[in-house]
Structure formats: C-alpha cells, structure tokens
Structure 1
Amino acid sequence: MPLASLPRRAILRLAALSLALGVVAGAPALAQSPKPEVIRIGSTAPGHLKFILFRNQKLLEKEFEKDGIKVELTTFDGGSAASVALGSGAIDLTYIGNNPSLRLGASGADVKLIGLSSWVPSNETLVVVRPDSPVKTLADLKGKRVAYLSGTVRHSTFAKALEAEGVSIDDVESLNIGIENSGPALARGDVDAIVESTGPAQKLVDAGQARVLFDAGVSGKPEWAVPHLISVNGDFARTYPQIVERILKVDIETARWADAHPDETIAIFVEETGNSEKAVRSSYSEGKFYQNPEIMPRAIEALKGEERFMAEAGLLKGKVNYDTWVDRSFYDAAAAQATASN
C-alpha cells in the first residue's frame, strides 16, 4: 500500500518505528569516539625531555598505530612560535615553557593547561661571557649587548637575576637571538653575553669558548623555578577528549620509565640534544627527572607568581583565568588508565 494512502496514525507509528530503528542502528557509530587523522605536538627545540623520549622511542606512534592515527612531533625555535601555532590550531598540543604558555593563557586564546611538562628545581639557565671578558658580575652587564630569545623562561630568569643585583633588564641591550647564532656572535665579540639553557650553554664552556658568569641553578632563588607546561588546543580537546587522555597516559608512563631508567634516559637525552653528559647530569641530579605531569596546587601558585612578575616586567598582557584555563580532568582520567594498565 502506498505510504500516502495510509492513515495518519499508521504513518506516525511507522515514523516512530523508523526513528527507533535508526537510533538502534546508529548506536555503534555514536558509541565509537571520533579520532583525528593526525596528532600534532610541538615543543621548543631540541624538545623537552618527555617529548624527546616520545620521539626517540616512538611511544606515541606505538600507542596510536592500531587506530591508524599518525603522530607528528615538531620543534620550534622558541615557545612563542609554538604557542601561536597552538592557539591557531596548527598544532594540537605543546610541551613548552611557562612564559609563552602564560602569555597565551592571558590572551584569552582557546587553550587548556592539562599537565606539567616538567618542574626541575635547579632552574636551568646560564649566563655566559667570553673567557677573556672583563665582565665579572651581572651588574657589569649594564649597557652591554646580551643575546637571548625574548619571551622565554631564560628571559624571565635573567630579568629576575638582574633585579636581584639592582639592575633592570632595560639597562642592557637585549638582542633576540637563539643559540645557533648567539654562540658564533659571542665568539666574534658581536655580543657580550648569552643567556641560554644549561645544556647548550655548557657546550660552549666545555669547548673553551665561554665562561659561566651566572648559574641560576646554583645562585638563583628556589622560587624562580616554575613548571613547564603541557597545553592543548581547546577545540581539539573538546572533539577528541579520549585521545588527549591517552596522550597523557603515555606521558605518565614515560615519566615513570625515566625515573626507573636514569642512565638510559640521560644517554637518550645527550644523543638527541648534543648536550654534554656533565650538564645533563647536573640538571637531573640523583637521577631524578621531575617529569610528573600532575598539576598540583603549589604548581598553580608558582605559575601565579610568575604571571605577576611577567606583568610587572612588561612581559605579559592580559590576565590568566585559572578557573577556565586549567583542566585537571584529562590527567585524572589518564592516571586511572595508567594505574589500571600496571
């Protein structure tokens, strides 16, 4: 019988039945979580420790290969470039420093803080000069040319160190130059000092090309050590929450593996970065790597303190809303999965 000739009540019953069947038929599709074709993760070159372990051991590729999901690990020259890529959606997650992460959070961008990349208490920043430099103290850098990447943790640490000596960062001639160019510039005498992470700066010292003027890990204040962060693009997190949880599960497992295998971890880090083993062991003394991604209350307090300093130093515009920026739910779910898999 044609549908048009059926009584209205019969048509309604058929429609209801069709809807019910449609729901049942569609249930498996609805139950299946969406998945991306590729996961893009960025870090500041050469990469944070867990990022390097992911790359060296192909840990994320192994986690997602059964789903047919590709993983792309990309390094950026400076956290600012990585944070811009995250905010725009060009990459999905970042392992970068606190300063670029805080600036992005303060901008109101659609990003979430979901974990800690690391929280190393030694504050890995060196200020180095030429071996024959007449500069003897940080105060002697007043009016001198100093190279560092603007907006980095090193920038913040250097500003704090100068402030402790009664010198403003505005009193030095700051040059926004990365280590690839600042090292040769120091050798030529084009710059008077370099502010850089311990690893690459120590390489210059070991090669006899530089002398340590200031070591934040030795002479810095404990409160200068602020956690580095794992952030996710908000749209990616809302669309693929279970993917984000699985990434953090691998992160937790990687952090635990590093502490259980200190010598192998250091060997991988040295191989991947080219840093001296001496500098790496100095940064991770006693075989502890401080890679736990859990966002503890004291980590938030440290970030708030850093935010205040950045605002006062003109390194940040806007204000971070920690209630909307921080999302611990992904870590909680990942920790449960990691525990269950043990």
Structure 2
Amino acid sequence: MKLRIAAALAALLASLSSVSAEGLTIRFGHPGTGLDNRQYSQGDATSYARARELIEKEFRTDKDIKVEWTYFRGAGPALNEAVAAKQLDFFLLGDLPAIVGRSRGLEHKFLFATTRHEPIYLAVPIDSDIKSIDDVKGKKVALFKGTNLQLATDRVLSTHGLTEKDVRFINLDTSAAAAALTSGNVDAVFGGPEFLALAKKGIVKIAYTTKGDDPTLGRHTSYLVTAAFEQAHPDVTQRVVTTFIKAAAFASDPANKDEVFDGWSLSCFPKDAFEGDIEADTLANRLNPLIDDFIIARYKDQVARAKAYGLIKGDVDVDAWLEPKYLQQALKDLKLVNYWSSYDANGEIAKLGDLNKKQSN
C-alpha cells in the first residue's frame, strides 16, 4: 500500500514538473541598449552569450522552452519597473539599481558577479581646461543618475575631497550626455567606454579615469534571478548560470579576446573602444564571476552609501541576498573551481586563480 502511495506521489510530482516546464518562456533583461537601440550590449560575458545565442543553444532541444531578451534604454530604473511588473526572470543590473530594487521589496537573488573594476571616464571637450577631478568643482557635468554610475561617481568625488554638492550635475542618459558634451551644453560627462570612441575620433578627450586610482573605485554589476522563478525552476536556473559561467571562462581566456570583441560589436560600439577600455587590465579580471570578499564588501559599501545619500530608505541585507549555490555548482561541473583569482575586501589577491598563474608563467 505504501509503495503504491509513494508511486502515485512520484507520478504526481513528475506531472507537476512537466506542467511547470510546458510553454515556459525564460525572460532575460538588460539595462541599456546598443547604438541606435540595438538589442545587444557589450562589456560582460552574458552580452557575449547573447551575441552568440549560447542560451538559445542550451535550450534548443527543450521544445517547450523559449528564450526572450529585452533591452531597456532607461537602463536600471526602467529594468526595475519591469521586474516589479513581473515581466522578467533573469537580468543584469548595476549595484545601485539592484540595491534600490531590493530595498523596495523586489524579490530576487544575486547569482554571480558580471563585471568588476569597470572604469569610469571623465570626458571633456577638446579645448577644455578640466584636467583632473579637482577641476570639475562648480562645473556643469552630465551624469546618468539612478544607475550604478551615480554612486561610483560619488565615491570618486569623495576620494578627491568633493561631493555632489560641489558639482552642478545634470541628469542625462548616455546618448543625451554625449550630445550635450559635443554641443557645449555641459562642461564634462562621467561615463563609460562609449566615450573612448569619441576620444579616438578627436571629438572629446579623457581627463580622468579610475584606472590606476584606488582599486576599490569603479563600477560593479551582477546577474540576478527573481525568487519566484528560482524556486519554481531550480534546474533551469542552474542551466542558465552554468551557460553564462562557461561563457565567462571562454571570454577570460586571452586567446579568445578578438572573438569576444566581435560578439560585443553587434551592439555597434567599435572594437577599438573595447581595446582602450581593457588596456592595463584583463578580461579575466573584469569578468571574474566569483562572489568573493571584494564583491561582498563593495555591495555592502554601496548599501551604506545609498542610505547616506537618501537613495534608499530601508536596509538591504547583502548576505541574505546572495545565492551562490548555482555558481558553485557551475564551477564544479565545468572544472573551474580555481580558474579565477579571489580578492579580499580591499581588492588585493587573496587566492591566485589557475588562469592568472598560467598568464604569469
């Protein structure tokens, strides 16, 4: 009798599992678009995976599973609205918008880091007299607020003895900021590698970058999954994470740099901008997915700063937010447990990874 009941329960569970997978659409989101609103991006391993349809290939034989990508021109704030409306399952977010969403009750899990030490650039007109961070005091400067660029810029200012109140910030997205800078409507812009392409053409110049400055400066992003999806589909969640970590390992190998840049160039950002952005750094360092002490410390620091600036009202428990088991399983399955280096809270190497050992030999 007990065996029959057990068999019936097993059949029921199998049926429920089958139903849960039937007609499943995995909805991926990304904050930002390529040039001319292209539905591709650059700068991380998930963007390379998107360019080469690695997720689609992973689920190609699962006839009842579809993959859907959405790119948001409004970056993190717009993506957070989509998460609140239950329109996404997996998504990349910068630290600030992820923290803001979490503080407002969005239920999601932190799966792995997507970028670290992502540089900030201060772009100015060719004839500008701005030569350092100190020179932006009292100037009209464009900044895309609400994104991970905002707090990262605030931290740059603070390390140089300034605050937001010392600068006349204008809230503009990347495209509008570039137009405002080249037309002379702002004195400078804090932004990302997109301004390297303008500098290459001699349209602007880069007055400052976080490269070579305090190692805790720069921007950080992570990959997240809604708690509802992760709880309903842990097996699918694992396959997604494993596919992305495999892409991160491929992209971290110096031999694959040109191929990775080719994939990123589907966003229509020029490859020489990627070259300039990664100069004096490595893709292995930039795309390191580990949730190590460095990443945890950066997110806890950003939570504290977001509260201090009044950007969030509630607290965010970073430790409770983290869900490293899928990353750990992926590293184990792909034999990448020691592939990347681990860093301590101050950005110093705590454990040298196999890839870095290989490159240093």
Q: Provide the TM-score with structure 1 as the length reference.
A: 0.84
Superposition deviation, residue 245 in structure 1: 0.7
Conserved? CA contact 1:92–1:232, under 8 Å: yes
Q: Of residues 110, 115, 124 in structure 2, which corresponds to 1:113?
A: 110
Q: Of residues 15, 28, 40 in structure 2, which corresponds to 1:29?
A: 15
- What CA distance in whole angstroms lies between the structure 2 residues aligned with 1:111 and 1:34? 20
**Structure 2 vs 1, CA of residues 20 and 40 (structure 1 numbering), >3 Å: closer, same or farther?**
closer
**Structure 2 vs 1, CA of residues 248 and 203 (structure 1 numbering), >3 Å: closer, same or farther?**
same
Conserved? CA contact 1:226–1:303, under 8 Å: no
**Structure 2 vs 1, CA of residues 339 and 286 (structure 1 numbering), >3 Å: closer, same or farther?**
closer
Q: Of residues 80, 83, 95 in structure 2, which corresponds to 1:83?
A: 80
Q: Does residue 65 in structure 1 map to residue 56 in structure 2? A: no
Superposition deviation, residue 249 in structure 1: 0.5
- What CA distance in whole angstroms lies between the structure 1 residues aligned with 2:80 and 2:29? 9
> CA-to-partner distance for each residue in 1:264-297, whole Å, 9 max, x for gaps?
1123223434134254354263453532323223
Superposition deviation, residue 150 in structure 1: 0.3
**Structure 2 vs 1, CA of residues 298 and 33 (structure 1 numbering), >3 Å: closer, same or farther?**
farther
Structure 2 unaligned regions, length at least 5: 35-40, 337-361
Partner of 2:242: 249
Computing the radius of gyration from Cα coordinates, the structure with the larger value is 1
**Structure 2 vs 1, CA of residues 206 and 25 (structure 1 numbering), >3 Å: closer, same or farther?**
closer
Aligned residues: 322
Q: Provide the TM-score with structure 2 as the length reference.
A: 0.80
Q: Which amino acid aligns with 2:91?
A: T
Q: Does residue 216 in structure 1 map to residue 210 in structure 2? A: yes
- What CA distance in whole angstroms lies between the structure 1 residues aligned with 2:282 and 2:161? 34
Give the structure with the larger helix fraction. Answer: 1
**Structure 2 vs 1, CA of residues 146 and 66 (structure 1 numbering), >3 Å: closer, same or farther?**
same
- Equivalences for residues 125-136 of structure 1 within 5 A: 125-136=120-131
Structure 1 unaligned regions, length at least 5: 1-12
Partner of 2:167: 172
Partner of 2:201: 207
Conserved? CA contact 2:196–2:276, under 8 Å: no
Percent pairwise identity: 24
Q: Of residues 96, 99, 104 in structure 1, which corresponds to 2:101?
A: 104
CA RMSD in angstroms comes to 2.7
- What CA distance in whole angstroms lies between the structure 2 residues aligned with 1:82 and 1:150? 14
Partner of 1:163: 158
**Structure 2 vs 1, CA of residues 248 and 169 (structure 1 numbering), >3 Å: closer, same or farther?**
same
Superposition deviation, residue 93 in structure 1: 1.2
Partner of 1:239: 232
- What CA distance in whole angstroms lies between the structure 2 residues aligned with 1:315 and 1:265? 35
**220-229 vs 53-62, which moves further:** 220-229
Partner of 1:298: 294
